[in-house]
Amino acid sequence: MCRIYDLQVREDDDWQMVQKQGNQFVVNDQPFYVNGFNTYWLMVFAADQSTRGKVSELFHQASSAGLTVCRTWAFNDGQWRALQTSPSVYDEEVFKALDFVISEAKKYKIRLILSLTNNWDAYGGKAQYVKWGKAAGLNLTSDDEFFSHTTLKSYYKAHVKTVLNRVNTFTNLTYKNDPTIFAWELMNEPRCTSDPSGDTLQSWIQEMAVYVKSIDAKHLVEIGLEGFYGPSAPDRAKFNPNSYATQVGTDFIRNHQTLGVDFASVHIYADSWISQTISDAHLQFTKSWMEAHIEDAEKYLRMPVLFTEFGVSAKDTGYNTSFRDTLISSVYKTLLNSTKKGGSGAGSLLWQLFPDGTDYMNDGYAIVLSKSPSTSNIISLHSTRIATFNSLCSTKCKWGCKKKNPLEEFLYHDDL
């Protein structure tokens, strides 16, 4: 088994924007496949000096495991330690905390997917925007009016504009010019159940994707979808986890054909969508769910797809660490099967990674690397494979063979 040359850490002046070429991400015209993680609460922890060190600790541990992308919230609407205390009114200390998160991520060569609001009530989200609208005298009857009411859309656009034009107080870089930011996410898990046709959400996505691009044409944009198939693709509904998934107002293929959307996002929660009792059915669903979306990204969308959340809860009946390791390995294997064929499977982000001493934040899905040696080993091995591929030249195999692409060369010679 031959192990390939040492991987080099890029210099700061070579820290370039992630871009898209066809169905791949690239940095400096080299493939960039993602092994990443979620930790949504980084800004809130950074806002308190007593917990700020946990942000650095997390990035250090993630970097040591070879993880290169983190997804986190660039919003906290009207809640405890709110970033946006009311429409277009911001807490500067919390904004400085987000500045810190971004600057600290760069130190550890970790790029960030920053989500701009939430479908759910946690950290405010669309429900908070509706509350603000009602306080301003608007006659609103549903949280879904966030997607259609002109005033609420203007509140959201103002937030987008403020965040993208923010000048980082640690780096002096405007967010929209910072390569540390991998992509902007319009919303975490948008749903509009009041309009199962999908037209309302589709209109909002079209408007907001173009708006983000009008301010920042450099960064990639994604929607934040869970991946449910809708009315535009009835033949794909069989891959949905349940019949309800077709009725939440999202439409994976149609939504991602929108101008300004650069790559597809999908979440994987067999334990939430199918059954909270662990079984092999979870693994079977995960594989078919991933393969269907990778195929769609290649066939219809012609763009990369990132599985931006996946995991399994320790609260599930029958849960054990061995099953979690099997699930993670299955996700990684499915991605590698796509990657070695030059497919659209561009990477995945675990939900979610925690540093030591933050158990009180655990929703059941937390992975603490220092306490999970088997899981840590699986993550690190996958990181090594991906990092090696990302470092390979795509034009010539160093061993002189004629495999179709760099990863195929690597897998062939590494005898994986």
Catalytically active residues are 189, 309
77: which strand partners? Answer: 84
| DSSP assignment of 93-159 | HHHHHHHHHHHHHHHTT-EEEEE--BSSSTTSHHHHHHHHHHHTT-----GGGGGT-HHHHHHHHHH
3-state secondary structure of 67: coil
Residue that is written with structure tokens 């840590």 in the block: 376
Residue in the structure block whose two tokens are 């990181």:
383
DSSP code for 138? -
Identify the bridge partners of residue 69 per DSSP, sorted by sequence position. Answer: 36, 111
Neighbouring C-beta atoms of residue 35, cutoff 10 Å:
25
- SS3 call for 25: strand
Contact partners, residue 145, CB within 8 Å, separation at least 6: 130, 133, 152
Q: HEC profile for 343-364? A: CCEEEEEEECECCCCCHHHCCC
Neighbours of 134 (CB within 10 A): 12
Burial 376-390 (b: 16+ CB within 10 A, else e): bebbbebbbbbbbbb
What CA–CA distance (Å, rounded) separates 140 from 256? Answer: 29
CB 413 within 8 A of CB 360: no
CA-to-CA distance for 168 and 165, rounded, in angstroms? Answer: 9
Enumerate residues 6+ apart whose C-beta is below 8 A from 235: none
Pair 32, 25: CB distance under 8 Å:
yes
Measured between alpha carbons, how far is 375 from 217 in angstroms, rounded to an integer?
Answer: 38
Report the amino acid identity of residue 133: G
CB atoms near residue 11 (< 10 Å)? 7
Whole-number Å distance between alpha carbons of 306 and 122:
23
